[in-house]
Structure 1
Amino acid sequence: MLTSTGRIWEADSTQKAIGWGSRTDEMRSGTGVAESPRGVWIHPPRYGEYAILELSPFPEIRLPFKPGQEWDWELSVGSYWSNPAWAVWQGQMQVKTHYKSVGQQRVATPLGKLECQQVTAVARCSAGQATLSLLFHPQYGFVELDYVNIDGGRLRFQLLSVGVVNEFDATTYFGKQ
């Protein structure tokens, strides 16, 4: 489950705070999302078994969407992200990612058939390379994130539902009604 708090992320004031977890009462990782008229960029989950995604392309869409558009992004990743299961390094490792807007694709989802924008990305570093194929819908955001990581393993995230969970307890502030 991906949950937006609606608040600014403490680690980076340009991003909104989000949490990843299996339930809203069990958020396992806090991170951020940047949204602007120029696009949307999100940190993938990076806790536990998902730490490998630090070396994979981060989901990004550039707006206005133009098929064939290409762009690059670079990230310096500290050795505290290393793991003997997939890569070990000392100090900082540069991860260079190249993105390409492929075009529109109509896909069947749990939300119905959606016209999505497709982007592919390849991240390269001294430990290897990882890829991401993503589908983005203007109303729902990232509908699918399909990764092939540096260890050859595949991770796929799909949007299954959307909604608003109001966790505001009015009795805390106004007493029992």
Structure 2
Amino acid sequence: MKNLFSTILILLLIGCNPKRKTSFTEIDCIKEEMPKFDGRKVSLLDENGVAFKDTIIDKIEKRRTVFKPCRDYIYSAKFYDENRNLITSTRIKMTATGKRWKFQPELQDELIVQHEYSKEDRKKAAKYKLNKKLPDYGWMKETKTGIIENVEKIWMHPFRSNQFSFTEVAPFPEIKYPIEIGKSWTGQLHIQEGWGDWENTSGNSSYEITSREPIETKYGKINPCWKVKSKSSYPFGKSTFDYWFSETLGFVKMNYRNYGGQYLEIELEEVNDR
């Protein structure tokens, strides 16, 4: 009788959990031959200033050490208000498909990002939206994006869908080789139309590698990791972004504080090679 009661209680508890919008699906991927180079493309202009031809000006030796084709990364993502009250606790899955990204195939590889969330997550996050004029396209369960991985650097678009749109105006995850403590660099981004309050603004970002250290994650202890401290400045506010990079697992922990004082903490949970 006691066992029966325990079983019923477990089933009731499961039934009370918010139902997620989607569970992760397996993404088709290919392990085709890796390109030898990444390239930088420029447009040649005629005497009237009209582009008539694209050409590759640089060839950078290609790598796929972190974003290996058919590798799945799963992260936990916790979003807090300025007083560190939890708003949402969700998961993100990222898969390298082994293909080139169609919007910049000469330089970037394709990633598919999946989001796991509930109706309650959408409801709770709505009132914490910083960019009030950003069009509401609805939450997405899957998006395609691009990453760069070569002998010079690893760079990726942030997780910027759904409640995480503010990562667009924080520094983007990036590491530059050779990696060494004290190394610093800068970046700039112009926000184009379609981004609500942020459109037609420009921001500057700065980065510094501050330490080499072991860290504990949901995936386990990762040693060593390189810690990078970065910040961005736009006309509407400043954001900070601290992250930890593993030379074999990539960006394993990412801590944001956006210009509204909110926090986002992303941490590696699983890595699966297929």
Normalised to the residue count of structure 1, the TM-score between the two structures is 0.83
Identity of aligned residues (%): 27
Q: State the partner residue of 1:49.
A: 163
Matched, 1:128 2:242: no
Aligned counterparts of 2:191 and 2:269: Cα–Cα separation in 1: 31
Q: State the partner residue of 2:272.
A: 163
Q: State the partner residue of 1:169.
A: none
How much does 1:146 deviate?
0.7
Q: How many residues end up aligned between the 2 structures?
A: 157
Q: State the partner residue of 1:67.
A: 181
Higher RCO by CA contacts (8 Å cutoff, separation 6 or greater) = 2
Aligned counterparts of 2:271 and 2:159: Cα–Cα separation in 1: 18
Q: State the partner residue of 1:175.
A: none
**Structure 2 CA distance for partners of 1:69 and 1:41, relative to 1, 3 Å:** same
User: Is contact 2:214-2:221 (8 Å) kept?
Assistant: yes
Matched, 1:112 2:259: no
- 3-state SS in 2 of match to 1:34: strand
Structure 1 stretch displaced more, 65-74 or 108-117: 108-117
How much does 1:48 deviate?
2.0
**Structure 2 CA distance for partners of 1:27 and 1:6, relative to 1, 3 Å:** farther
Aligned counterparts of 2:186 and 2:210: Cα–Cα separation in 1: 15
How much does 1:35 deviate?
0.4
Q: State the partner residue of 2:253.
A: 144
Aligned counterparts of 2:104 and 2:159: Cα–Cα separation in 1: 16
User: Is contact 2:186-2:204 (8 Å) kept?
Assistant: yes
What is the letter of the counterpart of residue 110 of structure 1?
K
What is the letter of the counterpart of residue 137 of structure 1?
S
What CA RMSD, in Å, does the superposition of the two structures yield over aligned residues? 1.6
Structure 1 stretch displaced more, 132-141 or 103-112: 103-112
User: Is contact 1:9-1:17 (8 Å) kept?
Assistant: yes
Matched, 1:17 2:110: yes
User: Is contact 1:79-1:93 (8 Å) kept?
Assistant: no
In structure 2, the gaps of 5 or more residues are 1-92, 117-139
User: Is contact 1:54-1:81 (8 Å) kept?
Assistant: no
Q: State the partner residue of 1:168.
A: none
How much does 1:164 deviate?
2.3
- 3-state SS in 2 of match to 1:54: helix
User: Is contact 2:218-2:267 (8 Å) kept?
Assistant: no
Aligned counterparts of 1:120 and 1:55: Cα–Cα separation in 2: 15
How much does 1:18 deviate?
0.8
How much does 1:20 deviate?
1.6
What is the letter of the counterpart of residue 4 of structure 1?
A
- 3-state SS in 1 of match to 2:211: strand
User: Is contact 1:9-1:31 (8 Å) kept?
Assistant: yes
In structure 1, the gaps of 5 or more residues are 83-87, 166-177
Aligned counterparts of 1:75 and 1:44: Cα–Cα separation in 2: 13
Aligned counterparts of 1:8 and 1:27: Cα–Cα separation in 2: 21
